[in-house]
Amino acid sequence: MISFPNAKINIGLNVIRRRNDGFHDIETIFYPVKLCDILEIIENPEGDHMPLFHNTGLLIDVPLDKNICVKAFRLLQKDLKLPEISIHLHKIVPFGAGLGGGSSDAMFIISLLDKLFSLDLNDEKIRNYALNLGSDCVFFSINKPVMAKGRGELIEQVDLRLTGYNIIIVKPPFNISTIEAYSEVIPNNPKYNLKESIQKPVEKWTETITNDFEKHLFLKYPELPKIKEKLYRIGALYASLSGSGSAVYGIFKDEHNIEGWFPGCFVWQGILE
Distance between CA atoms of 139 and 83, rounded to whole angstroms?
A: 27
Domain ranges (residues) in the chain: 2-157, 166-271
| Active site amino acids | 8, 136
CATH class for the domain made up of 2-157? alpha beta
Percentage of residues in the chain having pLDDT higher than 90: 93
Q: Enumerate residues 6+ apart whose C-beta is below 8 A from 16.
A: 24, 25, 26, 27, 187, 188, 189, 190
Pick the range with the lowest mean pLDDT from 26-30, 130-134, 237-241.
Answer: 130-134
pLDDT tier, 22 (very low <50, low <70, confident <90, very high otherwise): confident
Give the pLDDT of residue 46. 73
HSE toward the beta carbon, residue 230, CA cutoff 13 A: 22
For range 180-198, the mean pLDDT: 95
As a whole number of Å, the end-to-end CA separation of the chain is 25
pLDDT tens by residue, 152-161: 999 999 999 9
pTM as predicted: 0.95
Correct CATH for 166-271 of 3.30.70.890, 3.40.50.1820, 3.30.420.40, 2.40.50.320: 3.30.70.890
Q: Enumerate residues 6+ apart whose C-beta is below 8 A from 193.
A: none
Q: Judge whether 5 and 32 are in contact, CB under 8 Å.
A: no
Q: Considering the chain, what is the average pLDDT of its residues? A: 95
